[in-house]
């Protein structure tokens, strides 16, 4: 029972230390305030205990004191906000050139896919010292991807992509938890994050059954689902050609400009009538039920590879952030 017992979690990512600093500051503030209040209470309790012949002195109050003990906590709390916000932006804003992993949460497992196509369940092998970005979606209820050693956590929501990034600093094996209650086996929706030396990671990758590269499986899906029939130039073309499109803007029939990004591709596959591209008939059938979330991620990877920016990566407007 005392195995691995500790009172403070391991810190194994670039942001962990920053979060811990703020945490310790807050612990210090709490300890200071609590000690102050408790010792005052204790002192008053002894000093002013009821004694024969001594009466309480009635005191109205004191405006200067009220101002003081409103202003000091306010200043401290706003400082805690500022610091928290600053570190939060570091936790939240990913660097450029992250390795792109795909995560699908479902009751009750994590399905994870490497940039090179290898798949694993409830485990994530990553190289140390590389920024990693996970693009995540849920197939059913809300889950939450939580790695305590990295001090990162993000809800994995059905119907919308969320993302999280981290850079591991220490080789080792760390807990992966689902932190949003998701039903019966919530506490078994756990796994491991295994941080390896880059060389070991390469070796691990090559030892895996060479799962098809997402771009390659996406290309196969694109063929097998006969997407090309309508979406490549030719006599039977009925929809927009998709080469060079990813990362651009689409003019929709509702007159809006929407980004041709992961969400757009996903929604166009599952619900083609939403945001139809201008200049085409509404003839596409939904592929709901025929493709899995993983299939969609592969198709996205393929479209990215033939897109405007062939490098897998940024599509959202992170640069404009706050």
Partner 1 sequence: MTTSARSSYLDAEPREDNYLAAGYGIKSWLLTVDHKRIALLYLISLTAFFTVGGLFAVLVRLELLTPQGDLFQSEIYNRLFTMHGTFMVFFFLLPSVPAVFGNFLLPLMLGARDVAFPKLNLLSWYLYVAGGLLSFVAMLAGGVDTGWTFYAPYSSTYANSQVIVSALGIFVAGFSSILTGVNFIATIHKMRAPGLTWFRLPLFVWAHYATSLIMVLGTPVVAVTIVLVAIERLFHVGVFDPALGGDPVLFQHLFWFYSHPAVYIMILPAMGIMSELIAAFSRKRVFGYPVVAISSLAIAVLGFLVWGHHMFVSGQSVFAGFVFSLLSMLVAVPSAIKVFNWTATLYRGSLSFRTPMLYALGFIGLFTIGGLTGVFLASLAVDVHVHDTYFVVAHFHYVMVGGVVMAYMGGLHFWWPKFFGRMYPENVARTAAVLIFAGFNLTFFPQFLLGYLGMPRRYHAYPEEFQVLNVLSTAGASVLGLGFLLPLCYLAWSLKYGRKVGPNPWHAAGLEWTTTSPPPKHNFDAIPTVEHGAYAYAELDAEEVAHA
Partner 2 sequence: MKSHVLPLRVYLQVFAALMTLTAVTTGIAFVDLGAWNTVVALTIALVKVVVVVLWFMHVKYSPRLIWVAALASLYWLLILFGFLMSDYVTRVPVEGWAPPIAW
Partner 3 sequence: MPELAATHHGPLAHHFETLEQQKDTCTLGMWAFLVQEVMFFGGLFACYIVYRFLYPAAFLEGAHHLSPAWGTFNTVVLIGSSLTMALSVRAAQLGRRRGTAGFILATMALACVFLGVKWIEYGHKFEDGLIPGVAWHPEPGAAHGLRIYFGLYFTMTGMHALHMVVGLVLMVFVALRALRGRYSPDNYIGVEVLGLYWHFVDLVWIFLFPLLYLLGRH
Yes or no: say if 279 and 302 are a contact pair by the CB < 8 Å rule: no
Find the binder of partner 1 among 40, 206, 290, 292 (CB under 8 A).
Answer: 40
Which of 36/244 has CB closer to partner 1? 36
CB of 73 to partner 1, least distance (A): 4
Which of 210/273 has CB closer to partner 3? 273
Which of 66/97 has CB closer to partner 1? 66
At a CB cut-off of 8 Å and minimum separation 6, what does 320 contact? none
Coil/strand/helix, residue 290: coil
The site partner of 254 among partner 3, partner 1, partner 2, none (C-beta below 5 to 8 Å per kind) is partner 3
The site partner of 258 among partner 3, partner 2, partner 1, none (C-beta below 5 to 8 Å per kind) is partner 2
Find the binder of partner 3 among 209, 279, 282, 289 (CB under 8 A).
Answer: 282
Q: Which range touches partner 3 (CB under 8 A), out of 7-15, 123-131, 269-277, 288-296?
A: 269-277
Which of 74/220 has CB closer to partner 1? 74
How far is 13 from 19, CA to CA, in rounded Å?
10
How far is 255 from 108, CA to CA, in rounded Å?
41
Find the binder of partner 1 among 34, 123, 254, 283 (CB under 8 A).
Answer: 34
* Tokens representing residue 164 in the block: 């999280």
How far is 19 from 166, CA to CA, in rounded Å?
13
- Interface mask toward partner 2 for 227-266; x: CB under 8 A: -------------------------------xx-x-xx-x
Find, among 50, 62, 232, 204, the residue nearest to 123 by Cα.
204
| Strands 191-196, 172-178: pairing kind | antiparallel
Find, among 100, 126, 129, the residue nearest to 305 by Cα.
100
Yes or no: say if 128 and 197 are a contact pair by the CB < 8 Å rule: yes
Find the binder of partner 2 among 274, 278, 283, 311 (CB under 8 A).
Answer: 274
The 3 state secondary structure assigned to 212-267 is CCHHHHHHHHHHHCCHHHHHCCCCCCCCCCCCCCCCCEEEECCCCEEECCHHHHHH
Residue 271 engages partner 3 in binding (rule: CB under 8 A): yes
Number of CB atoms found within 10 A of residue 76's CB: 15
Residue owning tokens 């990034």:
165
Q: Which range touches partner 3 (CB under 8 A), out of 93-101, 131-139, 216-224, 270-278?
A: 270-278
CB of 274 to partner 2, least distance (A): 7
Counting residues that bind partner 2 (by CB under 8 A) gives 24
Find, among 270, 259, 264, the residue nearest to 316 by Cα.
259
Residue 96 engages partner 2 in binding (rule: CB under 8 A): no
Residue 274 engages partner 3 in binding (rule: CB under 8 A): yes
| Stretch 149-208 residues interacting with partner 1 (CB under 8 A) | 149, 151-155, 157-160, 162, 175, 177-188
The site partner of 318 among partner 2, partner 3, partner 1, none (C-beta below 5 to 8 Å per kind) is partner 2
Residue 202 engages partner 2 in binding (rule: CB under 8 A): no
Residue 149 DSSP code: G
Residue 278 engages partner 3 in binding (rule: CB under 8 A): no
Footprint of partner 2 on this chain (CB under 8 A)? 158-160, 162, 258-259, 261, 263-264, 266-267, 270-271, 274, 286, 288-289, 315-318, 320-322
């Amino acid at each position: 029972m005392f195995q691995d017992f500790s009172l403070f979690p391991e810190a194994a990512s670039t942001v962990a230390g920053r979060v811990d600093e703020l945490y310790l500051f807050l612990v210090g503030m709490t300890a200071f305030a609590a000690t102050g209040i408790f010792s005052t209470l204790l002192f008053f309790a002894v000093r002013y205990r009821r004694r024969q012949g001594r009466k309480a002195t009635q005191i109205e109050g004191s405006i200067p004191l009220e101002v003081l003990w409103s202003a000091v906590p306010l200043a401290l709390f706003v400082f805690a906000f500022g610091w928290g916000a600053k570190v939060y932006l570091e936790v939240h804003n990913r660097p450029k050139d992250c390795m792109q992993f795909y995560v699908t949460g479902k009751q009750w497992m994590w399905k994870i896919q490497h940039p090179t196509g290898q798949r694993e369940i409830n485990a994530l092998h990553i190289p140390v010292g590389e920024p990693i970005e996970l693009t995540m979606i849920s197939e059913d209820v809300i889950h939450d991807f939580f790695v305590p050693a990295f001090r990162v956590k993000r809800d994995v929501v059905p119907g919308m992509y969320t993302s999280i990034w981290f850079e591991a600093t220490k080789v080792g094996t760390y807990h992966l938890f689902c932190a949003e209650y998701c039903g019966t086996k919530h506490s078994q929706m756990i796994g491991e994050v295994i941080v390896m030396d880059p060389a070991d990671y390469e070796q691990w990758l090559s030892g895996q059954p060479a799962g098809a590269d997402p771009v390659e499986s996406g290309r196969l899906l694109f063929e097998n689902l006969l997407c090309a029939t309508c979406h490549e130039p030719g006599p039977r073309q009925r929809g927009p050609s998709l080469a060079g499109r990813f990362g651009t803007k689409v003019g929709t029939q509702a007159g809006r400009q929407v980004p041709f990004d992961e969400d757009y591709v996903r929604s166009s596959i599952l619900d083609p009538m939403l945001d139809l591209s201008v200049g085409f008939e509404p003839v596409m059938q939904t592929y709901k039920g025929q493709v899995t979330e993983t299939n969609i991620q592969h198709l996205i990877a393929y479209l990215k590879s033939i897109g405007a920016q062939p490098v897998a990566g940024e599509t959202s407007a992170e640069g404009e952030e706050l």
